[in-house]
Amino acid sequence: MGFFRMQRLTAIALVAFMALHMVVVHYPPGHLDFTRVLERLANPLWKAIDIAFLGTVLLHGLGGLYDALIDKERIAMARRAVAGGLAAIGLAAFGYGVYTVISFSPAALAALR
């Protein structure tokens, strides 16, 4: 898949994720508190949605940053280094985010209260 197509597909996915986020977090029926967030994160589907959202944000954001950086003549000469550095940052951020979402345990937090 080409870069241009990947940017457009992730942009469309981000619009869908942001709409879902706005409805679920900012306009829920009733009052939104930490207990409802705990309930939602106990559901594996919501964990998968959060991980997909994170991956889409990272692909779109770091891809756009790469495209902007290689427009500069000095940086364009180091294209592979820039791509490798951004890929390393993206993988580290994605790994940390996935670890955080998967290891989040509402039951453990409830036991602390």
Query: What are the structure tokens assigned to 76, written together?
Result: 């364009």
Which of these, 82, 92, 26, 86, lies nearest to 60 by C-alpha position? 86
Q: State the pLDDT confidence band at 92, using cuts at 50, 70 and 90.
A: very high
Reported as half-sphere exposure (CB side, CA atoms, 13 A), residue 96 has a value of 7
Chain segment 29-63, per-residue pLDDT in tens: 777 777 777 888 888 999 999 999 999 999 999 99
> pTM score, two decimals?
0.84
Q: Which of 46-50, 78-82, 108-112 is predicted with the least confidence, judged by mean pLDDT?
A: 108-112
